[in-house]
Structure 1
Amino acid sequence: MFFRAALSFLRMSRTETSFLRTLSSLRWLAIGGQAATIFIAGGLLNVDLHASMLWAGVGTLILFNLYAGWHLRAGGEPSHATAVGHMLVDIVVLAWMIAWSGGIGNPFGLLFLVLIALAAMALPRHWAYATAAAGVTGYGAAAIFGQPLKAPGDAYQLLLLGIVSSFLITVVVILIFSTRLAADLRHRERELADLSERFARNEGIVALATHAASMAHELNTPLATMTLLADEIAEQADTDDLKADTQVLTELLALCRERVRNLAVPSEVELERVVEQWTLVRPTVELHRTGILPKGLRVEPSVAHLLQALLNNAADAGEQAGAPYVDLHLECKNGMVSGMVRDYGHGFNPDQPLLPATLFRSAKPGGLGVGLALSHATVERLRGEMTMTPASGGGVRIQFHLPVETTVTSTAR
C-alpha cells in the first residue's frame, strides 16, 4: 500500500512540476514571438492591427507567467487540474489574440493544435480530452467573433508568410517539449527503480528483524548453559594457555549474551565499548585508531550495528588481500557522529552505486549480504550521509556523518 502510494505521488508530482516548468519556458517564447509579430506586422508590413487589444493579451500572459514561475519556486505540489488550468489560460489568451488579428483567416490559429498535442503527451486521457474541447471551443470562438485584417499589398503572400512562421514555431515548441519530456521520463524511471529496490530491501529487513527477535529468545538459554560450562572449565584449567583460552571464551560468550539481550530489548550502547568488543571478535586484524570520543558516549544500537558492519567488511577485504589492517577515525561534534573506515583490500568498482544495497546479495565468499544493506538502511533512516571513495595506496575509504541523539554517562565499566 505504501509503495503504491509513493509511486503514485512520485509520478504525479515529478511529471506535473516538469510539465509546468516546460510550459512556463514555452510561454516566454510565445510572449516574445507575439510581441515580435505585432511589431513586424504593424510596423514593417503596415497591417492594420488592433494593437491595444493585442498588447493587452501579451501583458496578461506576462503577468500570468510571472505568477506561475513564482508558484513553482514556492515549492507547491501541482496537480493535473493545476496543469489544465495553466493550459486554459494559454488557450483563452491565444483565442483573444487570434480573434483580434484576423480570426479564422489567421494562420497562427493552428497553434491551438500545439496546445492540444502538449496536453495529450503529458496529461491523463480525461484531462487531455478536456483540454482538446477547450482548444476547439477557443478556436471556434476566435473564428466566429474574429475581426478581419486589412493588409496592404498581396494578402496571399502574407498568408503564406504566416503559415511558414506557424510551422516553424510548431516545430520548435514540439521539439523542446518532447526532448524535455523524454528526459524527465528517463529520470522518473530511474527514481522508480531506485524506490522499488529500497522498498524490497526494507521489506526484507523487517522480516529479518522479526526472525532475529525470535532467535534471540531461543538462543538465550543455550548461551546461559555455555557460560556455566565455560566457568567450570576455567576453574579446572591447569595451564596458563588453557586459562587464557577459557578467558577469551568467557568474554565472547558474555558479548554474545549482551547482543542477544539487546536484540530483545534495544537500548543505547557505548560507542567505545563497541570498538573494544569488535577487536575482541577480530583479534587477527590490526586496528589503527584515531579521533577522540566523549567519555561514556552512548548511541542507539543501529549506529553500533553500522560501525560493526563497516569494520567487518573492511577486515574481510583486508584479509582477502593479505593485508589485515583497518584504519578507524571517530569523533562527535555538535550532535553529529562522524567516522571513517579504511581497508587495505583490492578496492571496488567505481561504477557500482553505493546506495541502495540489496539484501541477501554479497560479493564475499560465504557472505550473507546483510551487513551492507543494514548499513545503508541505517544511514537513510537517520538522514545521514555515507560516501565510498578509493583510498590512496589501495583499498576503500568509507566516511559517514550521522545526526544522532547522544547520551554521555559517567558509569565506570
Structure 2
Amino acid sequence: MSEATAPPIALPATDAGRRNMSLLIQLRWIAVGGQLATIEVVNGLMGIKLPLAPLLGAIIVLIAINLASLARLRGGRSVANRELTAVLLFDVAALGWQLHHSGGLTNPFASLFLLQVVMGAILLTPRSSWAVVAGAIVAMVALRIDPTPLVLPQPYAADPLALYLKGSLVCFLLIAVLLVAFVTRMSRNLRERDAALATASQRAAEEDHIVRMGLLASGAAHELGTPLSTLSVLIGDWRAAPRLADDTELQEDLADMDAAVGRCKSIVSGILMSAGEARGIAPQLTTARRFVTDIVDDWRAGRLPGTLDFSDRIGPDVDIVSDPALRQVIDNVIDNAAEVSPDWIGLTALRDGEMLVIEIADRGPGFDPEMLETIGQPYRSTKGRPGGGLGLFLLVNVVRKLGGLVSADNRDAGGAVVRITLPIAAIARGEGRRG
C-alpha cells in the first residue's frame, strides 16, 4: 500500500512572500481603479485637461505588472524579498511618472509616496525598505525638474490653493482607507501565520511522542517475545503431562491460558509489524467490509461476547490493504468504550462518497467539553490515571498519516461516539469493486 500522509502545513516563512505579493496585487488593482476614476472626474467633470497618454500609459504598466505577478503566483514557488522590492519600486516609478505629467510636487496626490514607504517598511527587509525610501526621495527630487504644469480653468484658476486643499483632503482619505485595508489584511496574515506556527509546533510535539512511544513499544515487544514463547511451550507441556491429562477443569484453564498467550503473541507481532520490523511478512490484502468485520469478530471472541453491536452500511465493497496500526488503534478505541460501557458498544461502518467512516459509540458518561476541544492530545483522559489518553492520541495520529480525520461527540441518548473518516484512496488497492 502506498503511504499517504496528512495534508502538509504551509510553512509561514515560505508562504509569507506569496501572501504579501497577493496583497500588493489587490492594492494595485484598487490603485488602478482609483486612478481611472480620478482621471475621469478631473478631466471630464472638472474640465481640467490632463495629458491622457502618459497617465494612461502608466496605468497600463501597472496592469501589466499585476498580470505578471498573478502568473508568478500561479507558478507555486515562493516569492523572494527582491521580487517584492522590485514591484514596489515600479509602483514608486509609476506614481512619479504620473505626477510629473500632472503638476509635479504641486499635485496634492504627491503624498501617496508615503503609502509606498509604509508598505515597504512592513513587507520588506530593513535594507529593502530603505531602498524604497531612497526611490521615493529620488522620485520627489525628480519631480522638481521641469514638471508638466496643469492649466486650471475658471473658477479654479482664481483660487488654486482651495483646489489644492480639496485634493489634499481626498489624498488623505485615500491614504487612510488604503492603510486601514492594508494593515487589517497584514494583521490577519500575522494571525494565520501564528496559527500555522502553533499547529506545526503541536504536530512536532505529537510526532515526538509517537517516536518515543514507538521505540518503547518496539523494545517492549522484542523483550516480551522470548518469555511469551517460553510460556507457550510450558503450557503445551502441562497440557500433555499424564498427571494433568485427566483433570478436566485444569485442562480448560490451561486452554484459556494458551489462548491468552497466543493473543499476547499476536499483539506483539502486530506492534512489530506496525513498526516495520516484521521481516518477510507481506501486507494483507482484504476488503473494507472484511477489514471491519475481522476487527469485530476478533474483539467479540477475545473480549466481552454479546457486547459489540455491529452495523454494516458499507454498501459496495472495495479492495484495500489492511494496516496493522489502524486495526490496533481501532481495537484500542473499542476497548476504551468497553471500559465505560461494558453492556453495549455500537460500531457502524459506512461509505460516504469516497470516504470510509467508522463510528464507535457507547453508553458511558461521555466526554467532558474540555476533552472534546483537545481531542487527540496526549495524556488527556477522563479516567484519571497516569499515562491515560494515549488511545485517542495514537488513533488521531495514525488516521492523520492516512489523510483522514478523527472527531468525537456526545450522543443525545447518552454516551459518546468517536468517528473515524478515512479516504478510500489512501487504503485502497486498484479500482476493483465488489458487490
Task: Give the TM-score normalised by the residue count of structure 1.
Answer: 0.84
Gaps of 5+ in 2: 1-7, 431-435
C-alpha deviation, 1:73, in angstroms: 5.0
Partners in 2 of 1:327 and 1:201 — Cα distance? Answer: 29
Q: 2:408 corresponds to which residue?
A: 388
Q: Aligned residue for 1:26? A: 27
- Contact 2:375/2:407 (CA < 8 Å) preserved in 1? no
Q: Which of the residues 274, 296, 308 maps onto 1:287?
A: 308
Decide whether the 8 Å contact of 1:299 with 1:405 is kept in 2.
no
CA–CA distance in 2 between the matches of 1:112 and 1:326? 69
1:156 aligns with 161
Residue 215 (1) aligns with residue 220 (2): yes
- The residue correspondences of 1:11-410 to structure 2 (distance < 5 A) are 11-73=12-74, 75-151=76-152, 152-235=157-240, 236=244, 242-264=250-272, 265-266=277-278, 267=281, 268=283, 271=291, 272-283=293-304, 286-291=307-312, 299-319=322-342, 324-330=343-349, 337-349=356-368, 357-366=376-385, 367-397=387-417, 398-402=419-423, 403-405=426-428
Confirm or deny: 8 A CA contact 2:319 2:429 kept in the other structure. no
Aligned-pair distance for 1:170? 1.0
Gaps of 5+ in 1: 1-5, 408-413
2:209 and 2:90 map into 1 onto residues whose CA distance is: 49
Cα distance 1:360–1:145, how it changes in 2: closer, same or farther (>3 A)?
farther
Aligned residues: 397
Higher mean C-alpha displacement, 9-18 vs 236-245: 236-245
Give the 3-state SS of the residue equivalent to 2:158 in structure 1.
coil
Q: Letter of the 1:339 partner, please give it.
A: I
CA contact (8 A) 1:355 1:376 kept: no
CA contact (8 A) 1:337 1:404 kept: no
- 1:13·1:79 contact (CA, 8 Å) conserved in 2? no
Once the two structures are overlaid, the 10-residue window that deviates more, 40-49 or 162-171, is 40-49
**Cα distance, 1:114 vs. partner?**
0.9
Q: Please state how far the C-alpha of 1:354 moved relative to its aligned partner.
A: 6.5
TM-fit CA distance, 1:344:
2.1
CA–CA distance in 1 between the matches of 2:264 and 2:21? 57
Change in CA separation of 1:163 and 1:336 when aligned onto 2, cut-off 3 Å: closer
| Structure 1 CA distance for aligned equivalents of residues 183 and 209 of structure 2 | 39
Report the secondary structure of 2:310's partner residue. strand
TM superposition shift of 1:355: 7.4
Alpha-carbon separation, structure 2, partners of 1:49 and 1:112: 21
Q: Structure 2 CA distance, aligned partners of 1:252 and 1:86?
A: 71
Q: Against the structure 1 CA distance between its residues 53 and 196, is the aligned structure 2 distance closer, same or farther, given a 3 Å change threshold?
A: same
Q: Return the offset for 1:161.
A: 1.2
Letter in 2 for 1:262: G
Cα distance in 2 for partners of 1:351, 1:174 equals 40
Residues 370, 69 of structure 1: CA spacing in aligned structure 2 closer, same or farther, 3 A cutoff? Answer: same
* RMSD over aligned Cα atoms: 3.1
When structure 1 is superposed on structure 2, of 308-317 and 104-113 the one drifting more is 308-317
- Separation in 2 of the partners of 1:62 and 1:54? 13
Superposed displacement of residue 175, structure 1: 0.5
In the TM superposition, residue 64 of structure 1 has moved relative to its aligned partner by 2.6
Q: What SS does the corresponding residue of 1:291 show, helix, strand or coil?
A: strand
Deviates more, 1:237-246 or 1:58-67: 237-246
By relative contact order (CA 8 Å, sep 6+), the higher-ranking structure is 2
Distance between the aligned counterparts of 2:372 and 2:189, measured in 1? 21
CA distance in structure 2 between the partners assigned to 1:359 and 1:46 by the alignment: 72
The alpha carbon displacement at 1:101 in A equals 0.9
Q: 1:334-386 deviations in whole A, cap 9, x for unaligned?
A: 99654222222233356656777333443323353322222121122111233
Cα distance, 1:231–1:85 mapped onto 2, change above 3 Å? same
- Of 238-247 and 25-34, more deviation after overlay is shown by 238-247
Instruction: Quote how far apart the aligned CAs of 1:15 are.
Output: 2.4
Instruction: Describe the shift of the 1:380–1:48 C-alpha distance in structure 2 as closer, same or farther (beyond 3 A).
Output: same
Matches of 2:249 and 2:346, distance apart in 1? 30
TM-aligned CA distance change 1:43 to 1:351, over 3 Å: farther
Q: What is the deviation of 1:240?
A: 5.3
